[in-house]
Amino acid sequence: MANRFADWRSLSFRSLVSRSPRSVAGQVFVLQVALVVLLVVAGVFALVLQSDRDTNAEAKRRSVAVAETFAHSPGVVAALESPDPSKILQPLTEAARKAAGVDFIVVLDTKGIRYTHPLPNLIGKQFVGTIGPSLEGKVYTESVQGPLGREVQATVPIDNADGKVVGLVSAGLKVKNVASQVTRQLPIILGAGAGALVVATAGTALVGRRLRRQTHSLAPDEMTRMYDHHDTVLHSVREGVLIIDGGGRLMLANDEARRLLELPPDVEGHLVSELSSLDPETAALLDSGREVTDEVHFAGDRLLAVNQRHTDSDGGPVGTVVTLRDSTELRAVTGRAETARERLKLLYDAGLGIGTTLDVLRTADELAQVAVPRFADFVTVDLADAVLRGEEPAPTPTGMRRTAVYGIRDDHPLYEEGRLIDFLPSTPQARGYGSGHAELVAELSTATGWHAQDPERTKRIMDYGIHTLIAAPIQARGVVLGMANFWRSEQHEPFDEEELSLAEELVARAAVSIDNARRYTREHALAVTLQRSLLPRALPEQSALDVGYRYLPAQSGVGGDWFDVIPLSGCRVALAVGDVVGHGLHAAATMGRLRTAVHNFSSLDLPPDDLLSHVDDLVGRIDQDESGTESATGIVGATCLYAIYDPVTRRCVVARAGHLAPALVLPDGTVTFLDLPTGPPLGLGGLPFQTAELDLPDGAQLVLYTDGLIEDRRRDLDVSMELLRQALSGHPDRSPEESCQAVLDELLPERPKDDVALLIARTHGLSRDRIADWDVPLDPAAVAGMRDAVARKLDEWGLSELAFSVELILSELITNAIRYGSEPIHVRLIHDRTLICEVADGSSTSPHLRYAATMDEGGRGLFLVSQIAERWGTRYTPQGKVIWAEQALPEVSGPAAAPMEEEAPDRDGAQGEDAQGGGAEKTDEDLA
């Protein structure tokens, strides 16, 4: 408002100039130029007339002088009296004419007859002109049409000694000669007039330019309208306007300014410092010229908002323009509006700041923090303990857990966070919980029901200065979840009814978020429970790998990431990692189905590529079965990696179905990412899977993971892979558990967006002294020799207690291989956590267990094996099959306590011994 008058003035000038056809300055300039031209023309005309008059006068004067001089010349009278005057006077007159510079000198008698003339033929003829006055003795001048043309002539008498006129003399000039003299003077006169016109016009232009600047090129009607508007605005506006020059002198004050400041009528022209009616502070401000905006000053009982701006910012005169606004009544309204604005801003911020996560505790904290200190000095949030577990709250305010405490100070005496509180029915919290409406306690010192809850603590609260309370129920869907308590200390006024409504609105916004978080907590707990039940609860016992793992559910809920460690026959261990796209119960259930399928197919001892093919077929059938249902979602984007590690050969076979390639950490700490054949994701069908075989040294670490570990919107995939490399490299002695934690700390944020499965396995090769193997000829007599060789090896290992059962198992298996199999036949014993007996042959036919009838002669061999061994089975190899059986070791197994070695010795095969006695009991196992 401070520059309103100046802005209005400049805008009016510009707009009027753009519309004005002829400004005041232009009109004055044209008028001045016209006057100058008129004056110059009049002056030139006057000079011409004056020159003509002066020339004629000069001609008459010269004519008179020449005529008188000749009339009084000696000898003229004598010549007139002579017999022939013309003879004497004609030469004299011509000489005198030429000497005097006149056109003619004529001597004539008293009758007007010429004695002389420049034209001799006119001598003796009558004189043209008036001679009467001259005969009377007078000098007479006239202009006549004479023999020479238009003439100006003077006639004078010639007197004799007696004074008698004896003749006349006329001298004169032709009019055209007189006019030629005037013509010769005209260029000078006109040049002087033109110079005067130029000088006068230039002066007029300078004056007009100055006038144009001063009037801003305004037309007369526009200037009139502008000043009419100026007066109207100044004297009609509801704001006071003062204009003060650079010397502190008041140049203008409109009617409103006079009224607000109670100024006298003749105030213009006085110094501001001399105005006694002004408040000293206001007078000092006006005199200082300092720029201010809405600065409040008192003028009597009025409260004025003062704006002051400089007037010379746009090239105007030095000074200030001041606007005054009476804000006495507006201030009270503004205070109420400001309070309403602050409350709306609080509700707006609450809508943005409360419920940013689906976490009950975090939402309660956000409610407390948004209200302090803008609404309350302290805020406590008490929720039913069941709400924190995702359950429905109890109908009574018992078992309330204090979930949030926030205030302007930390030394308050309120109940601490985490405390379980049972509110008495007389407390405002209990009343609000039961009624569903907020309770206002304007003065806590008089609230006896509140004192009954904890008299000692309530006294401490009162002594601390907390004096007022609003207890608002946190209610959603008609169910009260808890109470939000707003406390104020001595620095603020007690709560009122309007603030009670504000508290209810504030808590209502938080209640929906808390209820959503509670329901999410319940659903998340169910999903996590389901997923945990589907994931491995504990790693199986095995000696081939030292395994560490981590599973982190996503922030938004459980997902479909999974892993598994599956012991296989022959001390081998299978590692599996998979991922199902999506989150929630469906992803978790799908993950469980895939993990179960992988676990079941692994029990068949299938190679990785065959196992993934079976799983791929299964996923395809699942999609087909569910495609007809209304809620069918199918299995989209499922991936899997399956690896089998053999500690005997120290070889790992890997295949993957659309999954990320694993990392390999060598014993020296270097890290590489394996280049494996990439198979399609599960469920696509039609494309085969390929395997890759790796020879792993002892102490190498195989790192399997899901995409949630390395995929992050904030960085490229290459950057994540490099971070994974850095987290794994350089620590060869670190355990897999420590490596898992280091990788998560390096790559993951505090709350990952996607679920993560990480599996790190360190390899341990089986020592060569824990392995024994023999080649067996295709001869039933070789069975006895194998029993003796096996017995000696068991004695060497300290497992003599197992000799009988092992010999029986091997006898049955070797006999079946000799009878129904084909060469080569090979026997291997592995001393690990169990004693493993393996018989391999070149046939792909598989025996199967059956129950023999009482009168059957065979069919009991594998039955005996199944009864003696803890586990047995068949696995297929590219060369045939292997039938294996495991037996538990005795409790004190001697060297079996440490079956693995850091570095295996060279393999030394052992040949089967010749048969030395009776053969094994004959069996006739049916062939599959």
pLDDT digits (tens, 9 = 90+) for 142-159: 888 878 777 888 888 988
Mean pLDDT of 704-721: 87
Give residue 558's pLDDT.
67
Give residue 10's pLDDT.
46
Can you read off the two tokens belonging to residue 601? 């197919």
- For residue 647, name the pLDDT band (cuts at 50, 70, 90): very high
Give residue 573's pLDDT.
95
pLDDT digits (tens, 9 = 90+) for 417-426: 999 999 999 9
Query: What whole-number distance in Å separates Cα of residue 747 and Cα of residue 663?
Result: 15
- Contact partners, residue 26, CB within 8 Å, separation at least 6: 208, 212, 217
Helix (H, G, I), strand (E, B) or coil at 918: coil
Instruction: Say if residue 140's pLDDT is above 60.
Output: yes
Phi/psi zone of residue 389: left (φ > 0), alpha (ψ -120 to 50 degrees), beta? alpha
Give residue 629's pLDDT.
55
Task: Quote the strand ranges of 508-600, DSSP E.
Answer: 545-552, 562-567, 573-579
Query: Is the peptide bond prior to 824 cis by the omega test (within 30 degrees of 0)?
Result: yes
Instruction: Say if residue 32's pLDDT is above 80.
Output: no
Instruction: Say if residue 868's pLDDT is above 80.
Output: yes
Among the ranges 609-623, 644-658, 672-686, which has the highest mean pLDDT value? 644-658
Query: What whole-number distance in Å separates Cα of residue 43 and Cα of residue 229?
Result: 45
Using a 10 angstrom Cβ sphere, with 0-12 exposed, 13-18 middle and 19 or more buried, the burial of residue 437 is: middle
Among the ranges 90-94, 252-256, 589-593, 611-615, which has the highest mean pLDDT value? 611-615
Instruction: Say if residue 513's pLDDT is above 80.
Output: yes
Helix (H, G, I), strand (E, B) or coil at 353: helix
Give residue 214's pLDDT.
66
Q: Which of 371, 373, 370, 368 is nearest to 406 (CA)?
A: 368
Mean pLDDT of 860-886: 84
Whether the CB-CB separation of 539 and 509 falls below 8 Å is answered with no
Mean pLDDT of 718-733: 90
Query: What whole-number distance in Å separates Cα of residue 804 and Cα of residue 771?
Result: 19
Query: What whole-number distance in Å separates Cα of residue 864 and Cα of residue 805?
Result: 10
Query: What whole-number distance in Å separates Cα of residue 371 and Cα of residue 464?
Result: 20
Q: Which of 595, 616, 608 is nearest to 655 (CA)?
A: 608
* 467-476, 578-587, 878-887: segment of lowest average pLDDT: 578-587
641-673 residues labelled b (16+ CB within 10 A) or e (exposed): bbbbbbbbbbebbbbbbbbbbbbbbebeeebee
Strands 756-763 and 701-705: antiparallel
Helix (H, G, I), strand (E, B) or coil at 805: helix
Hey, what's the torsion of the CAs at 493, 495, 496, 501, to 10 degrees?
140
Q: Which single residue is written with the structure tokens 């341990």?
A: 764
Helix (H, G, I), strand (E, B) or coil at 94: helix
- Contact partners, residue 746, CB within 8 Å, separation at least 6: 723, 724, 726, 727
CA 641 to each of CA 17, 402, 562, 769: distance values in angstroms, whole numbers, following the listed order: 84, 47, 11, 33
Q: Measured in Å, how far apart are the chain's first and last C-alpha atoms?
A: 104
Mean pLDDT of 377-396: 89
pTM value is 0.53
Apex CA 166: angle with CA 150 and CA 58, to 5°? 35
Can you read off the two tokens belonging to residue 377? 């000095």
CA 153 to each of CA 62, 105, 112, 170, 211: distance values in angstroms, whole numbers, following the listed order: 10, 9, 14, 6, 58
- Pinpoint the alpha helices (H) of 216-275: 220-236, 255-261
Q: Which of 119, 111, 184, 169 is nearest to 149 (CA)?
A: 119
Phi/psi zone of residue 32: left (φ > 0), alpha (ψ -120 to 50 degrees), beta? alpha
> Percent of the chain having pLDDT more than 70?
83
Can you read off the two tokens belonging to residue 450? 């509140």
Whether the CB-CB separation of 741 and 776 falls below 8 Å is answered with no
Give residue 806's pLDDT.
87
Residue 114 per-residue DSSP state? B
Q: Which of 430, 465, 423 is nearest to 444 (CA)?
A: 465
Whether the CB-CB separation of 561 and 755 falls below 8 Å is answered with yes
pLDDT digits (tens, 9 = 90+) for 563-574: 999 999 989 999
Instruction: Say if residue 66's pLDDT is above 60.
Output: yes
- Average pLDDT along the chain: 81
Can you read off the two tokens belonging to residue 391? 């359950």
pLDDT digits (tens, 9 = 90+) for 105-119: 888 888 888 889 888
Greatest C-alpha distance within the chain = 219
Q: Which of 36, 138, 134, 123 is nearest to 87 (CA)?
A: 123
Which helix (DSSP H) or strand (DSSP E) does residue 511 occupy?
helix 497-534
CA 40 to each of CA 36, 191, 254, 567: distance values in angstroms, whole numbers, following the listed order: 6, 11, 49, 128
Residue 126 per-residue DSSP state? B
Say which residue, 218 or 477, is predicted with more confidence: 477
- Contact partners, residue 83, CB within 8 Å, separation at least 6: none
Instruction: Say if residue 481's pLDDT is above 90.
Output: yes
Whether the CB-CB separation of 171 and 154 falls below 8 Å is answered with yes
